[in-house]
Structure 1
Amino acid sequence: MAAFRTTAWRLISGILGVTCLLLMAALGILLNSFNKQTVHPGPSTDLLEGSDCCSCQEKWIGYQCNCYFISNELKTWEDSRNFCISHNSSLLQMQSRNELHFMSSSTYFYWTGLSFSDEHHAWLWEDNSTLSQDLHLFFNTVNPKNCIIYNPRGSGLDEDCGSEHLFICKQRLS
């Protein structure tokens, strides 16, 4: 009789152990599936804190009276610029180091509206304004024939304008 009880308890504990492992595996699969569906190269498209003066079009992010479009499509600098223009905006023109702090967890690099002007012998934004000294520290540029990609964590690089990257459009509302 004692041998029967030991065998029954072993069987029950074995069944419970296998059930526990199956539940953990199912949870892992569900979490992995959930993460794949919600991972995007930018923040959510909901209006962010401090965006009460914004009314942005769908899939754009409102922040501090500006609207931002964070692409999930790779394009050349020129194609990115044309996309932004077609949406009544321009490639990202940063005003301060912290402008994109709402994207600080992003590991991607994005095209900006910064390029070298042979005429002025300087790096200029699309509207021909100059790069502020505050931001200049972030761009360790080598080749003026290149365009600038930027990571919201604070680093900028020069890159062949014909290569493909994600991009950010900015529409000023104020």
Structure 2
Amino acid sequence: MSKCHNYNLKPAKQYASPGQQKQRSALITSQSRENGNIQLKCALEKLKVLSPLFVVRVIAVAMAIHFIVVTVMWFVVFITLLCNNEVPVSSREGYCGPCPDNWICHRNNCYQFFNDNKTWNESQASCLSQNSSLLKIYSKEEQEFLKLVKSYHWIGLVHTEANGSWQWEDGSSLSSNQLTLVEMPSGSCALYASSFKAYTEDCSNPNTYICMKTAM
């Protein structure tokens, strides 16, 4: 890049002749034009140097703004997902009323899984003391989350000696669309296993149990 110089024009001597003054005036005018052209070239060269830097700075600022916007969006998505996962199992299709603390709400029913081992009669009494009953399978579609349950739990299904059928606590009979009951050699009570499958068991054997009631 060319070097830029400052040109200082010396004033004409006080007693110059008219001809000399005219020559000096023309010289000064020529030098002024040359000086102006040089300064213009310097300005253009500086602009060429500054332009790429300016473009780089604009791009950097734009990228920083884009990064901040994307970060904020992902933060909002994360908080939304976190809030939606606060309840282990809940209704995603309409209202699911309030349940007692630590109970699971699903499709307007409340469920509780108890880990202490009790006989079937003791489990039934425990549920009744909490204004609930042992688990009843109404339908696979309405209680689809139960297919993920592992281990064995007492449910409200017993074998009646009167007619030799399996009935729920409320007196309704077991239907094939509720669950599959695997009858063992002995046992008059049912244990829920998983995937809507239950096994018969001696009612006096201790097992964990599931209580259920309608959400208020």
Is structure 2 residue 212 aligned with structure 1 residue 170? Answer: yes
Indicate the residue corresponding to 2:98 in structure 1: 55
Distance in 2, Cα, partners of 1:97 & 1:145: 24
1:109 to 132, 139, 152: 152
Point out where structure 2 has 5 or more consecutive residues left out of the alignment.
1-85
Indicate the residue corresponding to 1:71 in structure 2: 114
The answer on whether the counterparts of 1:100 and 1:152 sit within 8 Å (CA) in structure 2 is no
Is structure 2 residue 175 aligned with structure 1 residue 132? Answer: yes
- SS of 1:52 mapped into structure 2: coil
Structure with more helix by fraction: 2
TM-score normalized with structure 2 length:
0.54
- SS of 1:134 mapped into structure 2: coil
Larger Rg: 2
Point out where structure 1 has 5 or more consecutive residues left out of the alignment.
1-43
Quote the offset at 1:117 in angstroms: 1.1
Indicate the residue corresponding to 1:4 in structure 2: none
Quote the offset at 1:152 in angstroms: 3.0
Aligned letter for 1:134?
Answer: N
Are the structure 2 counterparts of residues 143 and 113 from structure 1 closer, same or farther at C-alpha, using a change threshold of 3 Å?
Answer: farther
The answer on whether the counterparts of 2:99 and 2:105 sit within 8 Å (CA) in structure 1 is yes
Within-5 A mapping of 1:72-111: 72-111=115-154
The answer on whether the counterparts of 2:91 and 2:108 sit within 8 Å (CA) in structure 1 is no
Aligned letter for 1:89?
Answer: S
Indicate the residue corresponding to 1:155 in structure 2: 197
Aligned letter for 1:152?
Answer: S
TM-score normalized with structure 1 length:
0.66
Indicate the residue corresponding to 2:165 in structure 1: 122
**Residues 65-89 of structure 1: CA deviation (Å, up to 9, x unaligned):** 1111111211111111000000111
Over the aligned positions, Cα root-mean-square deviation in angstroms equals 2.3
- After TM superposition, the runs of 4+ consecutive aligned structure 1 residues lying more than 6 A away are none
The answer on whether the counterparts of 1:104 and 1:153 sit within 8 Å (CA) in structure 2 is yes
Percent identity for Structure 1 against Structure 2: 30
Aligned letter for 1:95?
Answer: Y
The answer on whether the counterparts of 2:188 and 2:201 sit within 8 Å (CA) in structure 1 is yes
| Segment of structure 1 superposing worse, 87-96 or 105-114 | 105-114
The answer on whether the counterparts of 1:115 and 1:123 sit within 8 Å (CA) in structure 2 is yes
The answer on whether the counterparts of 2:136 and 2:157 sit within 8 Å (CA) in structure 1 is yes
Are the structure 2 counterparts of residues 114 and 77 from structure 1 closer, same or farther at C-alpha, using a change threshold of 3 Å?
Answer: same
Quote the offset at 1:158 in angstroms: 0.4
